[in-house]
Structure 1
Amino acid sequence: MSSLEKRLAAFSKLPLRAQLAMIASTRSNPTLAQNQEYLEGLERVHAECLQASTPEQKAVYEKAQEKLLNG
């Protein structure tokens, strides 16, 4: 398993809110944002986790997403 695969596997175990925060911080970091493969991998894993989440998890996630976007 490559280093990227290991990081994405660990990322997939985080709560959805933590994933969202990590994606946002990766995008805002000039160095990390340059690694498109990594950022795309985070977004892909996040989408998969969101798809597999329960309605309750999605509700908590949507509140966190709204807070993150609206400050």
Structure 2
Amino acid sequence: MGSLDFELTIAGIAYGVLLIAATFVNNRFIEAFRLDGIFMRNPTPATRNINLVAGLAIIGYNVYTLL
């Protein structure tokens, strides 16, 4: 795996962790990265679970690419 590939994979894992944190933590920095806040017109606390599912999927894919 090339150096850039490895760095992008680690960045993907970090973004997945950030999305999972966005599900449970209210923070101005983390709120900017929420997927439901980016793609939905009216994000609500009920739509925060999208971040958990997406974060787990992103982490899973990136860990798979490391193997």
Q: Is the structural similarity TM-score above 0.5? A: no
Give the TM-score of the pair, scaled to structure 2. 0.34
Pick the structure with greater CA Rg. Answer: 2
Give the TM-score of the pair, scaled to structure 1. 0.33
Q: 1 or 2, which has the higher helix percentage?
A: 1
